[in-house]
Chain A
């Protein structure tokens, strides 16, 4: 109980709404949240439809028009090999988006489930596994990803699994911490005292309460994954050329940053708007759910 006046007890509202509808109502009121959501939706639309409407073939090279400044012909100019930067920027996020979206689903599911179970068990097994999780987290994330990708190659499904696994470790911690808040709560005690099975407690009591935390964590993790995956591409371990990709484009076109900055700015703007959009949305989403988004690094 705080020393501030206890909140005025509200009489039961006559209008009954599910918590989900209420979250949407709250979200809709947030200016930043709606900007973020619009950016995300726009990016998904571009990624899915761009091959149809981009003005040039992103792979088409033309030695005559190398490193040209933006013009009516080439909205963002051309790169060193004479390829159209605008077209490449539009399609350059397709692999990244697919890989990270699959990976984030994997991460939320396996990390979330393992975390919830560990939180509920909370015994020797929990302690042992958490030691391993901590150890994995102590190894530089870039090294883990580089190692796995070096061993297993740069196929898309390998990368999705790698990112799903690596970033899922972070989710294990988040889900476990969130679960620990609830396992000692009286409604879980009540379920245990009733004789409910562990599986029912996980599905009926814990998941509905941890779900919000996991959703917000997933949104946030998506942005960290984008950071990770584009970094990998930047270092040359991500998407195999010549497939256009933001990270790799930035890495290669840095050489002509002085003469044709748009070759770098194109992918930078695309990547930046997506990541900022995700974060604006994640912040507003957390607020709409009544959670305080944890602000730390993904450790």
Chain B
């Protein structure tokens, strides 16, 4: 047996598309994983990460084929084995933990039985022994009440619990190697931090090798010893964690790291223009069209995978010496562009005592007089000034989207009011005058869903123009479309494209242009960057900041990524279960004193820095509904005081008497401040 557990040699995988042309997914990938090593595989969407991960298990997506090279796992040539031989390796020696655990569990089988199946197949136990092992595994992944959980069906578990169950399944036979394909993407930050801690512990205990696939450099920094960076189906850089983050040698690595918003640096990061080509379609370096270090040779000849002297470090770039000559940490400080805000004093939007509920009392409930459950969103009083960006922050279920949809008139408010300047926004959209509709525009998270796939960009932009400016002639509208496209930095020729013919970033720009076609006063941004790759995200944030300055537009910005919020917001409102916890300027929110929930969120954030360790305060127990009385955060709060917090709604406290920083907590500010300063 060689000293490598996995040895991928010159692996090329491709498929034939509908038109019969060959599309490469991987081209000439070389990668080794040693026993017990944890390797992070990073890259943007579509670069071939998952294909590589599956290839290590001898699995190909249907239609794909190996065009060259080999994969050796524990000296087995994975693509030379038959199905029966593969069955004895998969699960037993190498196991997968997939991204969406909810979809990866068979819906008609109980969770415990699915784990027992893996144990029986791979760990040679059966009957009571297998059942005991299953309970042991569930306890090992810290699922509460293993015996109860084992009897549940997958849909009865929360996202975090499903992920833990899948991890337990993968550990059934204590395999030599785990492949983790974005296992925490889509989970809340606190859940993510808990699961990553669990994985670290397991790997340390069992000595399992691990390949962790992710697009998130913060996650990768947390779990890996070594990092391999992929771009357009190739590994472009491969080195240990410290080297990768301190002195990346590939221009793509630098671009990627520079485009990530940071908690500790204010302002908007650098963006990287362009997008990856289809592997193998460029004669020279795949990254050449986007590279700022480009030289003559880059366009004609594909660069070799070169070793850099010093610690193990390989890079696929001819100009790595030039790249390394520039000190990365200094460069990083300079790329952040702070944005100038021109906030006016008069408020644009004012919410007072807003309460929203999805609950409709049914007939049965009315006759049995069951009390109404607590409202989804309650007691929201907030004011947003003209030209300001207010961020709403919180985990899933915090009511961010509900609030924004109520402001836009898609949901009815149950109590309280929404004011826009002098107008009442509390009514639903079909009762608002058209002029008022025009002033409040909404941008959604996923441009794939928010643009009608049957309309061209011109038709999409025409809709608000026709609706709000009925006097415009056809030619005026056409001119306006081109102007709008230019404002979102797209060329006029995009008018004739359908959404399916554009990249994610381009589609989101069109969605932004559609909102700005109305010439709005207030733009509601619902997670507008979270469906985009990091390199695109920075450019969209930058665009939003510029557009805001042009007309002094007011933004209400929803995000779950606290670093993104840091980059773009003036003020932040932290929400938990539809209740406000803390409101303040960005600086106030990101430094003590914090509300215990803010502290929990900030502590769980993963930073692209291998030396950073997240601080886990509260548990990640999911909550389905807000408590009927007392503090909203009582059940997860590490400082919860038994009687006070459970019984009474906490008061607002004002750390500095003047500028509106307020924290809703029973613990006196001074105590919070002392504890939190000591902790950091």
Q: Using CB atoms and an 8 Å cutoff, list the residues of chain A in contact with chain B.
A: 1-13, 16, 18-19, 26, 185-187, 189-196, 200, 204-205, 208-209
5 closest cross-chain pairs (CB), A and B: A195-B437, A5-B50, A3-B98, A9-B46, A208-B454
Nearest B residue to A26, CB-CB: B18
Residues of B contacting A18 in the complex (Cβ-Cβ under 8 angstroms): 498
Query: What is the interface of chain A mostly: helix, strand, loop, or mixed?
Result: loop
Partner of A10, one of B185, B278, B451, B506: B278
CA distance A195 to B100 in the complex (A): 36
Binary flags per residue of B429-473, CB closer than 8 Å to A gives 1, else 0:
110101001101110111001111111000000011001000000
Q: A2-B100, A4-B50, A9-B276 are in contact. Are A193 and B449 (CB under 8 A)?
A: no
- CB of B578 within 8 A of chain A? no
Nearest A residue to B24, CB-CB: A8
Whether A195 pairs with B449 at a CB distance below 8 angstroms is: no
Residues of A contacting B501 in the complex (Cβ-Cβ under 8 angstroms): 12-13, 16
CA distance A26 to B18 in the complex (A): 9
CA distance A190 to B409 in the complex (A): 11
Residues of B contacting A10 in the complex (Cβ-Cβ under 8 angstroms): 278
Residues of A contacting B464 in the complex (Cβ-Cβ under 8 angstroms): 194
CA distance A204 to B409 in the complex (A): 21
**Additional A-B contacts beyond A12-B501, A193-B429 (4; CB < 8 A):** A2-B100, A5-B51, A187-B449, A187-B450
Nearest A residue to B494, CB-CB: A12
Residues of B contacting A187 in the complex (Cβ-Cβ under 8 angstroms): 449-452
Nearest B residue to A15, CB-CB: B501
Nearest Cβ on chain A to B357's Cβ, whole angstroms:
18
- CB of B31 within 8 A of chain A? no
Nearest Cβ on chain A to B644's Cβ, whole angstroms:
41
Whether A16 pairs with B442 at a CB distance below 8 angstroms is: no
Residues of B contacting A195 in the complex (Cβ-Cβ under 8 angstroms): 409, 429-430, 432, 434, 437-438, 467
Partner of A9, one of B185, B275, B441, B449: B275
Whether A7 pairs with B46 at a CB distance below 8 angstroms is: yes
Partner of B467, one of A9, A196, A205, A208: A196
CA distance A195 to B451 in the complex (A): 16
Whether B49 pairs with A193 at a CB distance below 8 angstroms is: no
List 20 contacting pairs A-B, 8 Å CB cutoff, sorted by A.
A3-B50, A5-B25, A5-B61, A7-B46, A9-B46, A11-B275, A11-B277, A12-B502, A26-B18, A185-B449, A189-B442, A193-B409, A193-B429, A194-B464, A194-B467, A195-B434, A195-B438, A200-B467, A204-B463, A209-B454
Whether A9 pairs with B45 at a CB distance below 8 angstroms is: yes
Residues of B contacting A19 in the complex (Cβ-Cβ under 8 angstroms): 454, 498
Nearest Cβ on chain A to B571's Cβ, whole angstroms:
24
- CB of B625 within 8 A of chain A? no
- CB of B23 within 8 A of chain A? yes
CA distance A9 to B503 in the complex (A): 8
Nearest Cβ on chain B to A178's Cβ, whole angstroms:
13
Whether A8 pairs with B23 at a CB distance below 8 angstroms is: yes
Whether A5 pairs with B54 at a CB distance below 8 angstroms is: yes
Q: Using CB atoms and an 8 Å cutoff, list the residues of chain B in contact with chain A.
A: 18, 23, 25, 45-46, 48-51, 54, 61, 96, 98-100, 103-104, 181-182, 185-186, 275-278, 405, 408-410, 429-430, 432, 434, 437-438, 440-442, 444-446, 449-455, 463-464, 467, 496-498, 501-504, 506, 514, 518
Nearest Cβ on chain B to A253's Cβ, whole angstroms:
47
Whether B503 pairs with A11 at a CB distance below 8 angstroms is: yes
Residues of B contacting A2 in the complex (Cβ-Cβ under 8 angstroms): 100, 103
Residues of B contacting A11 in the complex (Cβ-Cβ under 8 angstroms): 275, 277-278, 503
CA distance A208 to B454 in the complex (A): 6
Nearest Cβ on chain B to A199's Cβ, whole angstroms:
12
Residues of B contacting A204 in the complex (Cβ-Cβ under 8 angstroms): 452, 455, 463
Partner of B410, one of A7, A26, A189: A189
Nearest B residue to A196, CB-CB: B467
CA distance A2 to B275 in the complex (A): 22
Partner of A3, one of B104, B410, B506, B514: B104
Nearest Cβ on chain A to B489's Cβ, whole angstroms:
15
Nearest A residue to B501, CB-CB: A12
Residues of A contacting B514 in the complex (Cβ-Cβ under 8 angstroms): 190
Whether B450 pairs with A190 at a CB distance below 8 angstroms is: yes
Q: A9-B45, A12-B503, A204-B463 are in contact. Are A3 and B103 (CB under 8 A)?
A: yes
CA distance A124 to B275 in the complex (A): 49
Residues of A contacting B498 in the complex (Cβ-Cβ under 8 angstroms): 16, 18-19
Residues of A contacting B506 in the complex (Cβ-Cβ under 8 angstroms): 12
CA distance A16 to B499 in the complex (A): 11
Nearest Cβ on chain B to A43's Cβ, whole angstroms:
30
CA distance A193 to B434 in the complex (A): 11
Nearest A residue to B97, CB-CB: A3
Q: Max chain B CB contacts within 10 Å: which of A3, A12, A194, A208?
A: A194
Residues of A contacting B25 in the complex (Cβ-Cβ under 8 angstroms): 5, 8
CA distance A192 to B428 in the complex (A): 10
Whether A208 pairs with B442 at a CB distance below 8 angstroms is: no
Nearest Cβ on chain A to B21's Cβ, whole angstroms:
12
Residues of B contacting A7 in the complex (Cβ-Cβ under 8 angstroms): 46
Residues of A contacting B23 in the complex (Cβ-Cβ under 8 angstroms): 8
Whether A205 pairs with B278 at a CB distance below 8 angstroms is: no
CA distance A100 to B277 in the complex (A): 51
Nearest Cβ on chain A to B186's Cβ, whole angstroms:
8
CA distance A200 to B440 in the complex (A): 19
Q: A6-B50, A196-B463 are in contact. Are A208 and B497 (CB under 8 A)?
A: no
Residues of B contacting A5 in the complex (Cβ-Cβ under 8 angstroms): 25, 48-51, 54, 61
CA distance A19 to B456 in the complex (A): 10
Nearest Cβ on chain A to B241's Cβ, whole angstroms:
25
Q: A10-B278, A191-B463, A195-B432 are in contact. Are A16 and B496 (CB under 8 A)?
A: yes
Residues of B contacting A205 in the complex (Cβ-Cβ under 8 angstroms): 452
Nearest B residue to A7, CB-CB: B46
